[in-house]
Structure 1
Amino acid sequence: MLTNPDCIKPFNHDNSALIAQADGLLDRAFGIGRRTKTSYRLREGERPVKGLSFGLYLDDEKTGSTLRAVISFWHLCIGEQGHRAVMLGPIAVEPHLQGTGLG
C-alpha cells in the first residue's frame, strides 16, 4: 500500500518527455493496440482537464524516481448537441505493480 503521498505529483501534459514516459507506460499496461479503443477516439482532439492529471513516481535503484502509474481526466463532447463532459481515464499502472493497491 502506498504510504508516501509525496510520490504523487501533478502530470504536465505539455512536457514532451513526460508524455513519452506515459505513452510507454500506457503501451505496457494496455498493449500497443490501445489507441483503437473507443475511449481513445472519444478523446481525439480534446485536452486533459488542467490540474486533474497525476503521476505516481517510485524510486528505482537504477533510474531514480520513475513514473509507475498515471491517471487523467479529459474534456469531451457528447452527442450531436455537443454536450460538454469530463471523462476519467486512462488509469494505468506498470504491469508488474498491478494488484498492489497503486491504482
Structure 2
Amino acid sequence: MPQFVPLSEIDDAAVEHLLDRAFGTDRHARTAYKVREGTAPIAALSLALVEDGALLGTIQCWPVALAGDDGRAWPLVMVGPVAIDPPRQQHGLGHLLMEKMLAAAAAIGASERLMLVGDPEYYGRFFGFTADRTGQWRLPGPVERHRLLARGADIPDRPGLLGPRFC
C-alpha cells in the first residue's frame, strides 16, 4: 500500500532521478523552472509517495508571486512538478498526490492561490484549475497560454510578471 511522506525525507538524488525519468533530463530549461528559480519547495505541500521503500511519485509546490504592473505583489503557490515513475503512470497515483496536496493547502490557508502549468483537461476536470484569470500574466519564458492555470478566490486577473517569491 503506497504511503505519503514529506518530500524532505526522500534523498534528493532519488527525487532528481524520478524527475528525469518522468520529464527528461532537459526539464531544467522549461519556463516553470525559471518562474520558481532560487526558491525552495514549500515543505508542507511537497510530498512523496512510497511503497516498500520505492519512490513512486512526488509533488512539489513553490512560493511564487505575480508582480502586478500596478506595483502590487500577489503571493501564489506554484504546483508542480507532479511526477510519477513511468511504469506506474496512469494508475491514479498523480491524482492521489494532488488530492493530498490540496488538503494540505487548505490546512495552511493556501488553497485559494494555487497555479500551475499543465494539462487543462486533466487539472480542470478533476481539480478546478482554469486559465480564466491568467491571460494577462507574463512569464520569464515561453508558455502555452491555455496551459497556464490557476484556482482559488485570491488569483489576480491583472497584468504582471510571474516569478519567484522569497519568503
TM-score of Structure 1 vs Structure 2, range by shorter chain: 0.7 to 0.9
Q: Deviations over 1:26-67 (max 9, x none)?
A: 0000001111111111110112112111101012xxxxx111
Counterpart CA distance in 2 for 1:87 and 1:24 is 21
Alignment coverage as a number of residue pairs: 91
Percent identity between matched residues is 37
* Paired AA for residue 84 in structure 1: P
Aligned CA-pair RMSD:
1.7
Q: Which residue is 1:49 aligned to?
A: 42
Give the 5 Å matches for 1:53-92.
53-59=46-52, 65-79=53-67, 81=71, 82-92=73-83
Query: What are structure 1's unaligned runs of at least 5 residues?
Result: 60-64
* Paired AA for residue 74 in structure 2: H
Counterpart CA distance in 1 for 2:11 and 2:75 is 27
Equivalent position to 1:96, from 62, 87, 99: 87
Counterpart CA distance in 2 for 1:19 and 1:85 is 25
C-alpha contact 2:7 2:43 (8 A) present in aligned 1: no
2:31 matched to 1:38? yes
TM-score in terms of structure 1 length? 0.79
Q: Which residue is 2:6 aligned to?
A: 10
Q: Secondary structure at the match of 1:47?
A: coil
Counterpart CA distance in 2 for 1:96 and 1:50 is 27
The structure with the largest alpha-carbon Rg is 2
Q: Secondary structure at the match of 1:20?
A: helix
Deviation at 1:11, TM superposition (A): 1.1
Query: What are structure 2's unaligned runs of at least 5 residues?
Result: 95-167
Q: Deviations over 1:57-85 (max 9, x none)?
A: 012xxxxx111100011101323644321
TM-score in terms of structure 2 length? 0.50
